[in-house]
Amino acid sequence: MHVDFLGTTSDSTIMDGIIYFFHEKEYGIGLIIFIASVLVPLFKIIGMVIILLSITFKWKRGLRHKTSMFRFIEFIGRWSMLDIFVIALMSTLVSFGGLTSTMAAPATTYFCAVVVCTMSAALTFDTRLLWDA
């Protein structure tokens, strides 16, 4: 996000927010943000890659686990949009004229694109392909 506070501009990232909460000894909030904003998208992509590799190379081991992993990826996918909603709300609600304002930075578009791509990949995937091996 791009923040303008009393004429001073600064940019902040998700990791900046996580580090801030850990410095302020707010470990719970920092951990929730880290899991929701960093680990969940990373695990979604890694899980989809594992599933696609197992289909490509016809791996027969752990098909039930891969199916349940996919169901989990599909379920948790909608929560990745939480970051985008927070940025949209902050940009809309935190606008006090010349006092302070927030805007979404360009990386927001790329993060949103990754979330939408992984969500659509999970929605269009047919789990029966796993069992064709």
pLDDT higher than threshold 80 for residue 106: yes
Q: In whole angstroms, what is the distance from residue 73 CA to residue 19 CA?
A: 27
Please report, in angstroms and rounded to a whole number, the separation of the first and last CA atoms in the chain.
45
Domain limits, the chain: 2-131
Contact at 8 Å (CB) between 36 and 28?
Answer: no
> Which tens digits make up the pLDDT trace of 42-78?
888 899 999 989 988 988 888 888 888 888 888 887 7
pLDDT higher than threshold 70 for residue 23: yes
Q: Hunting for tokens 């796993």 — which residue is that?
A: 130
Q: In whole angstroms, what is the distance from residue 89 CA to residue 102 CA?
A: 10
Strand partners, 9: 4
Q: Tell me the pTM.
A: 0.76
Q: Which of 50, 57, 70, 58 is nearest to 127 (CA)?
A: 70
